[in-house]
Amino acid sequence: MRDRSTSRPSTRRRRLVPLLALSVLALGLGACAGDQSALHPAGRYAQEPHDLIVIVGVIALVVFVLVQGLIIYSAWRFRERADDDGSLPEQVHGNTRLEIVWTVIPALILAVIAVPTVQGIFSQMAEPDDDYLTIEVYGHRWWFEYHYPDHDIYTANEMVIPVGTPVRLEMTATDPARSADQGVIHSFWVPRLAGKQDLVPGQLTYLNLEADEPGRYLGMCAEYCGLSHVNMRIRVVAKTDAEYQAWVEQQTTPAEVPEDGTLEAEGRELFYDLGDRMACASCHAVWEDGARNPNTGPDLTHLMSREEFAGAIHDLNEENLRAWLADPESMKAMDYERDGIGMPNLNLTEDELDALVAYLLALD
């Protein structure tokens, strides 16, 4: 008599196999789509690695079909037959000519692929032939800072670039001259605009990117860098020439000082002095006059010109700002007390929160 108790689990396992296979396939296809897909290039420096992906993909597909075809043929050709006498098949101990062929062919394939690969690497890092914009990129834990040396603009999380202009990134991990964070390796990757490049403490690395059309291009740190690595995102905003010039003009204008007696003015006072607690200005800069000097945290001079904050993981609005100031660690994974990195909880009162949020919202 058949034991149903043992057959049911086996049947269930067989049913799970195709479901798991479909799930893996769906996840794989999902990784190839969306705003962070290298398969949808939006500029020449992303087009080059895309074209290489296509070449390698076609070669890999041909090899896969040939190998799997040989396996299927061999399994069918030498399958067990009804008239077999049970003896082992004839044993073959190698074919020198065949072994040379299947060694030389892969070597030639790799040599062919190596040429565009090396060319692409140099193209991604070489100084562009056309006039280009230089942006200095600093990888902090856990946010990216951008400095435009031609205009002395400091901003965070969102990099703004003009459409159709090559952009040369000069990158390193943290700025040791003004940061207690000794730095770890980060990796800058915006798939639709360029390849990937590491940011290494104490070294300068380069990457070129360019956007063919206006838009908001997404990326993130692609090298594990600690507790909040997954919350270290990149936003590149490509604007028309007119929009970009307007943005530069805005960013090179000092922040306005609020009128005395207003809630914003009260918030500004708290920004610089919170009594026996760490003041906001001890980590953040708001440029009002004189030289523009960055601090250890993001520059907040034109904070509200950005759409996101805290490593570009939260929309920049009043509700999120208030929640961030009230309890930063509930909004982003970090342990300031242990590591001394990130945003501390300043234990602000409701009145202090009202004033500081009003001041930050005025920094447009």
Q: CA separation (Å) from 267 to 176, 262, 283, 361? A: 30, 9, 16, 10
d(CA 354, CA 349): 9
Query: Phi/psi zone of residue 202: left (φ > 0), alpha (ψ -120 to 50 degrees), beta?
Result: left
Within this chain, do residues 299 and 197 fall inside the same structural domain, yes or no?
A: no
Identify the residue whose tokens are 């057959």: 7
- pLDDT at res. 145: 95
Residue 281 lies in a domain: yes
Average pLDDT for runs of 10 along the chain of length 364: 53 63 58 70 90 90 92 86 73 81 89 87 82 94 94 95 96 71 86 93 92 95 91 96 97 95 96 91 92 90 95 94 94 84 91 96 94
Q: CA separation (Å) from 119 to 42, 70, 115, 122? A: 20, 34, 6, 5
Residue 187 lies in a domain: yes
Within this chain, do residues 275 and 205 fall inside the same structural domain, yes or no?
A: no
Within this chain, do residues 143 and 122 fall inside the same structural domain, yes or no?
A: yes
Q: What is the number of domains present in the chain?
A: 2
Burial (CB count within 10 angstroms: exposed 0-12, middle 13-18, buried 19+), residue 308: middle
- pLDDT at res. 287: 95
Partnered with residue 131 across adjacent β-strands are none
- pLDDT at res. 25: 58
Q: What is the pTM of this model?
A: 0.81
Residue 282 lies in a domain: yes
Domain boundary among 252, 274, 300: 252
Residue 3 lies in a domain: no
- pLDDT at res. 13: 60
Q: What is the CATH number of the domain that holds 291?
A: 2.60.40.420
Within this chain, do residues 243 and 273 fall inside the same structural domain, yes or no?
A: no
Domain boundary among 230, 252, 274: 252
d(CA 20, CA 154): 48
Domain boundary among 225, 252, 279: 252
Within this chain, do residues 49 and 146 fall inside the same structural domain, yes or no?
A: yes
Within this chain, do residues 354 and 325 fall inside the same structural domain, yes or no?
A: yes
Residue 142 lies in a domain: yes
Residue 174 lies in a domain: yes
Within this chain, do residues 204 and 283 fall inside the same structural domain, yes or no?
A: no
Within this chain, do residues 234 and 168 fall inside the same structural domain, yes or no?
A: yes
Within this chain, do residues 33 and 168 fall inside the same structural domain, yes or no?
A: yes
Within this chain, do residues 348 and 219 fall inside the same structural domain, yes or no?
A: no
What interhelical angle do 350-361 and 263-272 show, nearest 10? 100
Q: Are strands 167-172 and 133-140 parallel, antiparallel or unpaired?
A: parallel
Residue 73 lies in a domain: no
Residues sharing a CB contact under 8 Å with residue 29, sequence separation 6 or more, in sequence order: none
Residue 244 lies in a domain: yes
Q: In terms of residue numbers, what domain contains 280?
A: 263-361
- pLDDT at res. 255: 95
Within this chain, do residues 243 and 350 fall inside the same structural domain, yes or no?
A: no
Within this chain, do residues 171 and 220 fall inside the same structural domain, yes or no?
A: yes
